Amino acid sequence: MFDISWGELVLIGMVALIVIGPKELPAVLRTVGQWTAKIRRMAAEFQSQFQEAMREAEFADLKKQVDSIGDSVRGLSDLDPLETAKKEIEGTVSSAGATPSGEPEPSAAIPASAIGPSGGPQPGEPQPGAPADAAADSAAAQPSAAPASPEAGAGAPEPEKPSTIGEGRAA
């Protein structure tokens, strides 16, 4: 520590022997040894306290990091993937120009004469965006108006009943 060589120690010992004397030298050396031990203990205690303070500071930093990670995890626990997907779909649908129910918004491209009293296209009218021969198919597929009461339709023929398995065979 102080880089004292053996020659220097011998010189210090001879000066102490001459100045202090041979009778008092052992007591002085014992006292110097005690002081040296006290100084070493104080230095070791200071080092241990300093190292403990450093460990506490490191633990405090680690605790802050763990707390920040915990806060970010708590923020993720509020994450609802279904709600996020719903919001994204609603945003896409609204930006595409359709209502959230999935039906396209009414357009000004459909003339008012093509819309029937019920709000849909009139029978026999081609639907917008449909091929021309589809209008004939849709007109043929519509049933004729049946009477609302049995008295009004007394002259109408009854529909045929489907046959069951055992009726047509002779026993």
**pLDDT, tens digit, for every residue of 119-141?**
555 556 555 555 555 445 555 55
CA distance 66 to 58: 12
Which residue is associated with the tokens 């046959």?
163
CA distance 51 to 54: 5
Mean pLDDT over residues 107-128, rounded? 57
What value does the CA radius of gyration of the chain take, rounded to a whole number of Å?
53
3-state secondary structure the chain: CCCCCHHHHHHHHHHHHHHHCCCCHHHHHHHHHHHHHHHHHHHHHHHHHHHHHHHHHHHHHHHHHHHHHHHHHHHHHCCCHHHHHHHHHHHHHHHHCECCCCCECCCCCCCHHHECCCCCECCCCCCCCCCHHHHHHHHHHCCCCCCCCCCCCCCCCCCCCCCCCCCCCCC
The mean pLDDT value of the chain amounts to 74
pTM (two decimals): 0.35
Give the residue among 141, 136, 110 at the shortest CA–CA distance from 124.
136
Please tell me which residue, 55 or 161, carries the higher pLDDT value: 55
Give the percent of the chain with pLDDT over 70: 52
Mean pLDDT over residues 86-115, rounded? 67
The domains of the chain are located at: 7-77
Confidence of residue 171 (pLDDT cuts 50, 70, 90): very low
